[in-house]
Amino acid sequence: MVKFNRRQAFALGGFATVTLAACGGNGGSGGSSDGGGGEKFSIGFALKVQDAPYFVSLAEKVKEFGSEHGWDITVLDAGGDLQQESANMDTFIAQGKDLIFVDAIEPDAIVPKINAAAEMGIPVINLDSGVSEDANDVTTVYSDNKENGRLVGVAYAEHVGDEEIDAVILSGSQGNVAGLERRTGLFAGIIQGKLGIEEDEAWTLAEEFEQELTSSGKASNDEAGFHVLGQGWGEWTEPGGLVAAEDLITANPNITAFLGENDAMLFGAITALGTSGLQDVDIVAAADGAQEAMDMIREGTYFATGLNSPSLVAQKGVDIAYEILVDGADADSYEDITLTEPAAITAENVDEYYDLGF
């Protein structure tokens, strides 16, 4: 499928109701003058849900950074409903937005709407959630899930040294790409740190570890002394994590670590551990960066989390939008994936990253 950026669409007469900065006009909802000789662009953000602090912060940061340029940012929340997400995209397209940000519910269903926007000359930038390669988008901006997980895993392996790791893991939702990347990265880092091997070899062993976990519900690397005794699905939420953690604790009462794909599920695990009476269980998140988790890292009751900052994602997305809308960058010139800075947030560096949390 051929991509057209907004200027190309205008030049071809495909969306004549929208006036661009390059055309010097002032019509429709897009590209209107801000009264100071610049352009006040109208941006839509189709957000999948606002049921967790990360998504609330992401929306707030997109509006904050966009407002610094004088842009009009409209956020429409789908509430996790695919039909509502589709309707929200239709609204933005009908309004002739200059650009649309999307945090998609799932990677395939959103593709027709992204492509419909592109056909009207409206660039679409995905934030936080990836989409199918069939989507005619600009890029997807999100945290480096794999590297976040790996860095946390290496740090945790250094922390435990020669001790065996008998862990369980809380995963978000089955088939979720970000979750898969986070936990595989965590496995790679732990194996790399425990065995002292090169990163490439660690990734190969981590993929084998993940395949074993998928097929049997548990996995082991005996040489590394690393065992995942069970996997629960917490749907990314604290209540979901609590329920899944209770089942995992009942089945595996001698665990030494709770691994997780985000902080919220591990908050549920902490509650479950308190109820069970289990002590000295390490809490290790492959990624997230909730300030509540960072507070516990400071206290020494939570080992680490990865830097999954809505502020960094929003800033990078707005920067790319500025390059396209104001600087005239070609929307087709960006890589499919744009990653933010990865980091393992531990007691040693938590103060450095605290303000990037949510």
Same structural domain for residues 132 and 257?
A: no
Whether residue 21 has pLDDT greater than 70 = no
Same structural domain for residues 155 and 171?
A: yes
Question: What is the pLDDT at residue 31?
Answer: 55
Whether residue 8 has pLDDT greater than 80 = no
CB atoms within 10 A of CB 155: 22
Same structural domain for residues 314 and 331?
A: yes
Is the residue at 212 inside a domain? Answer: yes
Same structural domain for residues 273 and 196?
A: yes
Same structural domain for residues 130 and 252?
A: no
Same structural domain for residues 62 and 152?
A: no
Cα–Cα distance between 106 and 176 in angstroms, integer? Answer: 8
Question: What is the pLDDT at residue 51?
Answer: 76
Mean pLDDT over each residue of the chain, to the nearest integer? 89
CB atoms within 10 A of CB 205: 20
- Beta strand 139-142 with 124-127 is parallel
β-pair partners for 257: 167, 282
Is the residue at 33 inside a domain? Answer: no
Same structural domain for residues 184 and 270?
A: yes
Q: Torsion-angle region of residue 280: left (phi > 0), alpha (psi -120 to 50) or beta?
A: left
* HSE-up of residue 278 (Cα within 13 Å, Cβ side): 21
Same structural domain for residues 301 and 154?
A: yes
Cα–Cα distance between 17 and 94 in angstroms, integer? Answer: 11
Whole-number percent of the chain with pLDDT over 90:
82
Same structural domain for residues 106 and 194?
A: no
β-pair partners for 305: 345
Is the residue at 9 inside a domain? Answer: no
Q: What is the mean pLDDT of residues 24-38?
A: 41
Question: What is the pLDDT at residue 264?
Answer: 93
Same structural domain for residues 166 and 289?
A: yes
53 pLDDT band, cuts 50/70/90, is confident
Whether residue 114 has pLDDT greater than 60 = yes
Question: What is the pLDDT at residue 13?
Answer: 33
Q: What is the mean pLDDT of residues 73-77?
A: 97
CB atoms within 10 A of CB 344: 27
Same structural domain for residues 276 and 327?
A: no
Domain that holds residue 71: 42-137+310-340
**221: CATH:** 3.40.50.2300
β-pair partners for 140: 126, 337
Cα–Cα distance between 18 and 8 in angstroms, integer? Answer: 12
122: closest CA among 90, 140, 99, 104?
A: 99
Total of domains in the chain? 2
